[in-house]
Copies of this chain bind each other. A is one copy, B any other.
Amino acid sequence: MNQELIIQPIAYIHTDFKEKFGIPRQSGRVPELTGKIIFLPEYRKPEALRGITEFSHLWLIFDFSESHRKNWSPTVRPPRLGGNQRIGVFASRSPFRPNPIGLSCVKLDGIENNNLLVSGVDLLDNTPILDIKPYLPYADSYPNAIGSYGELLQNYHLEINFPEKFLAMIPEEKQKAVIACLADDPRPSYQNDPERIYSMQFSGFDIHFKVNQNQLEVINIDSLA
C-alpha cells in the first residue's frame, strides 16, 4: 500500500533572501517582496503558461530544501507563540514536517522570457518549486475560516527608524520591501533585549538593527557585494 513519490523541481525561485532570518512568516505579508520563478529548461515552455495571466494569484508548492531532517518531530514551537509552546506539526506551517513541502500564495505580476514574475513571496533564494497552480477564489478563499494562533499579531508592526544615509544605499525599488520586512519584526518572539544587534541579509546588503519596545532602529548597513 505504501507508495513512494519521486519529485523533481520544475523551477527555482530567486528572491532577495539568501538567509532565513527576516523572511516574512507567511506569503502575502510583504506584498512588495518580489521573486522571479525560473523554469528548468524542460519546463520553460510558453504553452505551459497559456492563460495563466488571467489569474491574479498563484499557489507555489515548494521544497523546504534548507529544512530537511532525517527525523521528524510530532510537535513544533511556532515563533509566533513565543517559541516555547509546542503544537502539533500538522497544526502548523513549520518547515520541519514529515514531508518538507511548503505552500505559498503569491501575486502574479507578469511573464518574462517564459519565466514568472511574482510578489508577496516568503521564500529563500533558490528554493526549488515543485508545482504552480492558479488560485481559484471560489475553491481556495475562506475569509471566515477560523485560524487559531495564526491570527495573533496579524496587525502587529514595529515602527521603523531607517536613517536616510542608510536607506539611500538600498536600490529605490527595494526600499519599501526592506522596510516592510523589518516592520514585520524578524526577531524570534521570545527575544526582547534592546541592546542586542541583529543582522538581516537582504538583496546583497547586511542590515544591522536594534529594537527597543515597538521601535526598530537601523544602525548600520554593509554591502555584501
Contacts and interface: CB of A to CB of B under 8 A. Distances in A.
A79 interface: no
A101 B102 CA distance: 12
Interface stretch (A21-29, A164-172, A175-183, A200-208): A21-29
A74 interface: yes
B10 A57 contact: no
B92 A134 contact: yes
A47 B74 contact: yes
Contacts of A138: 26, 28, 147, 150-151, 154
A101 B48 contact: no
A145 interface: yes
A200 to B, nearest CB: 21
Contacts of A187: none
Contacts of A61: 61, 99, 101, 103
Interface of A: 1-10, 12, 26-29, 40, 43, 45, 47-52, 54-59, 61, 63, 65, 74-75, 86-93, 97-101, 103, 105, 128, 130-151, 154
Given A10-B98, A26-B138, 15 more contacts: A8-B98, A8-B99, A10-B99, A28-B138, A50-B87, A51-B88, A51-B92, A51-B149, A61-B61, A61-B103, A90-B133, A97-B131, A105-B139, A138-B151, A140-B142
12 contacts: A10-B98, A29-B139, A47-B75, A50-B88, A51-B87, A54-B91, A55-B148, A56-B142, A57-B145, A92-B134, A99-B130, A137-B151
